[in-house]
Structures are given as C-alpha cells and as structure tokens.
Amino acid sequence: MNVYGLIGYPLSHSFSKKYFTEKFEQENIAATKYELFEIRDISDFPKIIANNPNLRGLNVTIPYKEAVIKYLDDVAESAKKINAVNVIKIGKNGKMIGYNSDYYGFKNSLFRFLPENYKGIKALVLGSGGAAKAVKAVLEDLQIPYLVVSRKQDPSTITYEAVTEEHVKEYKLVINTTPIGMYPNVKDSPYLPYSSYTAEHFFYDLVYNPQETLFMMKGKARGAKTKSGLEMLHLQAEKAWEIWNS
C-alpha cells in the first residue's frame, strides 16, 4: 500500500484527502491512499515518517512550509528560490526531497483570472508566510510590482492599518495568502478599506474553503472580480502527483 498525505495544523478545512481519494477511485489507482497528518508542532514530523514506512509523498500546508525544510535531505532548486516547500517526495530509500507546486498552481490559475493586458497592474499581497513566498515569486517572474501587507511592519512591508485609498487606487490586484476567512472562521476577513474598491479591482483568495470567502464577498459587493484558491489547489495537487511519480 502506497501512502500519501498532508501535514499541517489545523486540517479541518482541507479538501486534499477528498480530492486524492476521488482521483485514485476515478483513475483506478490501486493499493494507494491519502491521509491527513495533523501535527501541533513541526517537531512531531519525524514521528510521522517513522510511524508510516509506506509513505511515498506528502503535501505541506500552513504553518510548516518553511519549518519543514530543516528535516529534508534535499530541496529542489525551485523550492530553494522560494524558500518554502509544499511537496515532499519520499524515495524507497527514505530520502526526502522538497518541492514547491504552489508556484505552478498559482501562476496558471492567475493567468486564467487576469485580463490579457495585465501589464501595468500592481498587486497588494496580504500575508508574508510560505504561501506568500510562492505568490511573490510568480509576481516577480510576471514582472508585476507588489507591496506586502503584514501584521507587523518591517522595511519591506506595511501593516493592514496603513493601507490607504492611495494604495487602493495604485494596487488593482489584491491577493490574500493568509488563512483569514478559512473554515471554520468564515466571518473573518483581512482588514482593508473595502468601501474604496471598485470594478477595476481583482480579488484573489488562496483560501478555497469556503469557496467564496468574506474577503471575496466584500470585493464583489464593490464590483471587483473575484477568484478562490480552489483551482490553484487542483493544479498544485496534480503537479504534486507528477512529482511523486517522476
């Protein structure tokens, strides 16, 4: 039995097990299962590996995309560039190699969301964690200037309270990379001056459960175009499967 799975905390919001279980059934992939490994601390990661000798691959989600790196034997160049891992390939010899499929998933999903003439658009990136690193790498490669908004200010970020109407006018693409608004906390949304947004804006939420977050609803109420992270989830999951079986 080949075992794949997801590590993170919490995992009550995750669709990954459902997605892969249905994939295995639909594609007649036998003797294979996908499990959720909810761990409260990354120090429990070695126990997951030791207790599951049939593990062939793992997805990594919040909050361990950066912290898991120190436990790996190697990291692919693409993940090194981002400094975040969301896919781990486990060889039969036990060697663990980290990859990043968030980049692939977000880039392809974003292409389908933005207009063809997206050149000149600027992005406001909400959050500074592992998912944000993949998002920033995509924006840099697409030559989309961005500003990061975080709870704590540093030389490269501003706080949510510091977002002004001028920022709203300048940054037409707003990307939520945080878990704010994720199930079960569906009544939460990032702190922004929503009343200033317009139909010229694009709200992209990496959260996929619920499929329409309060962040998206508030944007849509102002006429903004919105998209959830569900397509990104599917794209990065298929990329992960490709990595595990390469």
Strands 202-205 and 225-227 come out as: parallel
Please state, in angstroms and rounded to a whole number, the distance separating the CA atoms of residues 52 and 49: 5
* Closest alpha carbon to 61 in 132, 125, 10, 137: 10
Please state, in angstroms and rounded to a whole number, the distance separating the CA atoms of residues 147 and 151: 13
CB 218 within 8 A of CB 189: yes
Please state, in angstroms and rounded to a whole number, the distance separating the CA atoms of residues 57 and 237: 12
Burial (Cβ within 10 Å: 0-12, 13-18, ≥19) of residue 30: exposed
Catalytic residue among 65, 133, 172, 218: 65
Q: Is 65 among the catalytic positions?
A: yes
Please state, in angstroms and rounded to a whole number, the distance separating the CA atoms of residues 151 and 86: 23
Catalytic site residues?
65
